[in-house]
Amino acid sequence: MEQAAQTGQETPRYQLIIDGQPTEAVSGRRYGTVDPYQQREWASAADGDAADVDLAVAAARRALSGPWGQLTGFGRAALMRRLAELIARDADRLAAIETRDTGKLLREMRGQLASLPSWYSYFAGLADKLQGETIPTDRPNFLVYTRHEPAGVVGAIVPWNSPLLLLTWKLAPALAAGCTVVAKPSDYSPASAVELAGLFDEAGFPPGVFNVVTGFGPAVGKALAGHPGVDKVAFTGSTGVGAEVAKAAAANVTGALLELGGKSAHLVFGDADLDAASNGVVAGVFAATGQTCMAGSRLLVHRSVHDALVDRIVRRAEAIRIGDPQDPATEMGPLATEPQFRKVVSFFGSAVAEGATVATGGEAVAELGGFFVRPTVLTGVKPGMTVACEEVFGPVLAVIPFDTEDEALALANDSRYGLAGAVWTKDIHRGHRVAHKLQAGTVWINAYRVVGPDVPFGGMGLSGIGRENGIDTVREYTQTKAVWVELTGGTRDPFTLG
């Protein structure tokens, strides 16, 4: 934590990173960040506000017109590859910090951080390939070509559930495109973004390319989303907050890339491998304590295998090891925050009140205290129930039987969300057929919760606007310029369109 946090103290003190320098908030305020497992403050962060956002955006604009803006794609790529090497070197340390901040399993965060360098390497490979094209026209006296130029300053607002991964989904393509970035990490997980900013300096990035403004409450996010000096806003989080971010950006006619909530469905057909399907369902809703936008929280299962599949899932759910996220044997840690804990627990009561049956779970883990809840399977769920419609963001599975393929598709698509889904079947024709008809941005066939830097990810409906990851994502952070070159030196009638 050489630059990321002040050292020599028992509790790390994280600062803002503006123009390459650690600094306290203009107000001088700080706030504590709580370890969800230990239930105590483990670090403190600078409590920034709109004044700090102004400074960060100004620094990003200077970098854009300074040394960073003068680099070629080859130069940007070299710096990004060096950054990837440093992240790989520090992956275990960064993973431990994210576990302290979020309560997610250390084994999962180590896996995420080990894969993170591949995002920077992949997009580094695109940084020197943002080529335009020559356009043949019906005017022989003109040469016409296009350029893809950086969108400018990007405001990146990220949630607490996978802080560095979801920041990287924005940061890596933005850097490849030549943009500069001001990041606002979640109130609840500010540490790792500040730590990452320290690696930018070590990698040799010019000051101001990547700035981090932490802060508790909505002030920083609102100021960043609505800042007139921001040219693109990239947000991951709840649909409600995403709509507010989009409104703030639209006031400045600023584009917004939104990755929002989900209520994703598994469709398990009668011919499916039930062992594989049950494993995929567990991975989709109980991994990460269900705190993931792509959680497969609806299980639509053919009536002929309903009981057999539910039995497998219940037995696995009841065997899940719950406890210390730093213990390699733990399979499910606590929920990340007290508000999220209260929200998840409230779904247990409402589901039963509306007629669902608790097959397992449905309660807090009293003996552990804190923010622990049991992995929960609810049967007898009807499509209109709250737990079948609303995003829980916790380890809660709603099971609904179906009889026909058309019914399964109707149930799956009967949602305001459209982020992800899965089809479980041994029939290759059905697998593709159903995948094509699912209204979701990502569909897995006989798998779940797999992502990569080269595969687009994003949603339909209330699940968002635009796509992260993949080749085309770099274009989200560019603007296209058309250039017309007159070749003859001749003149024309100035009062007619050319």
Coil, helix or strand for 119?
helix
Active-site residue flag, 293 = yes
Question: pLDDT at position 9, please?
Answer: 52
Q: Count CB neighbours of 71 within 10 A.
A: 18
Residues 6+ apart with CB under 8 A from 115: none
What pLDDT was estimated at residue 1?
A: 38
Query: Percentage of the chain surpassing pLDDT 70?
Result: 98
The one-letter amino acid at 44: S
Write the secondary structure of 337-404 as one string of H (helix), E (strand) and C (coil): CHHHHHHHHHHHHHHHHCCCEEEECCCECCCCCCCCECCEEEECCCCCCHHHHCCCCCCEEEEEEECC
Q: What tens digit of pLDDT does each residue of 225-244 get?
A: 999 999 999 999 999 999 99
Q: How confident is the model at residue 2 (pLDDT cuts 50, 70, 90)?
A: very low
Q: What is the pLDDT of residues 78-105, one digit of tens each?
A: 999 999 999 999 999 999 999 999 999 9
C-alpha span between 467 and 314 (Å, rounded) = 35
Write down the mean pLDDT value for the chain. Answer: 96
Q: What does the pLDDT average to over 138-154?
A: 97
Length of the chain in residues, anyone?
498
Q: Which CATH class is domain 5-260+463-481?
A: alpha beta
H or E stretch at 17: strand 16-18
CB distance 32 to 46 below 8 Å? no
Q: 10 Å Cβ neighbour count for 301?
A: 27
Residue 244 designated active-site: no
- Kindly state the DSSP code that residue 114 receives in the 8-state scheme: H
Q: Of residues 370 and 322, which shows the higher confidence score?
A: 322
Name the percent of the chain lying above pLDDT 90.
Answer: 96
Burial letters 98-135, b for 16+ CB under 10 A, else e: bbbbbbbbbbbbbebbebbbbbbbbbbbbbeebeeeee
Task: Tell whether the model's pLDDT for residue 45 goes beyond 90.
Answer: yes
pLDDT of residue 158: 98
State the average pLDDT over residues 161-184. 98
CB < 8 Å & 24+ apart, contacts of 402-407: 402/300, 402/301, 402/302, 402/303, 403/302, 403/303, 405/269, 405/430, 405/433, 405/434
pLDDT band with cut points at 50, 70 and 90 for residue 189:
very high
Q: Which of 466, 416, 468, 423 is nearest to 443 (CA)?
A: 423
The domain limits of the chain are: 5-260+463-481, 265-445
pLDDT band at 498 (very low <50, low <70, confident <90, very high): confident
Q: Are strands 5-6 and 478-486 parallel, antiparallel or unpaired?
A: unpaired
Model confidence pLDDT, tens digit, residues 313-349: 999 999 999 999 999 999 999 999 999 999 999 999 9
The radius of gyration of the chain from alpha carbons, rounded to an integer in Å, stands at: 24
Task: Confirm if 232 and 477 have CB atoms less than 8 A apart.
Answer: yes
pLDDT in tens, 206-223: 999 999 999 999 999 999
* Catalytic choice (98, 259, 391, 476): 259
CA 78 and chain centroid, separation: 25
For residues 294, 453, 153 and 72, what is the CA-based torsion angle, rounded to 10 degrees? 180
pLDDT at 485 over 50: yes
CA–CA distance from 479 to each of 151, 245, 448 (Å)? 5, 21, 34
3-state secondary structure 158-226: CCCCCHHHHHHHHHHHHHHHCCEEEEECCCCCCHHHHHHHHHHHHHCCCCCCEEECCCCCCHHHHHHHC
Which residues, 6 or more positions from 353, have their beta carbon under 8 angstroms from its beta carbon? none
Q: Give the contacts of 432 (CB within 8 A, at least 6 positions apart).
A: 445
Parallel/antiparallel/unpaired status of strands 464-465 and 255-259: antiparallel
For domain 265-445, is the CATH number 3.40.50.300? no
Contact 93, 56 (CB under 8 A): no
> Which residue in the block uniquely carries the two structure tokens 């509306």?
354
pLDDT recorded at residue 3: 43
Find, among 406, 401, 381, the residue nearest to 392 by Cα: 381
* Active-site residue (options: 98, 108, 293, 468): 293
Q: How far apart are CA 387 and CA 170, in angstroms?
A: 31
The confidence score (pLDDT) of residue 10 equals 76
pLDDT digits (tens, 9 = 90+) for 242-275: 999 999 999 999 999 999 999 999 999 999 999 9
Split at pLDDT 50, 70, 90, the class of 369 is: confident
Residue 73 phi, psi dihedral angles, 5° rounding: -60, -35
Q: Is the pLDDT of residue 6 over 60?
A: no
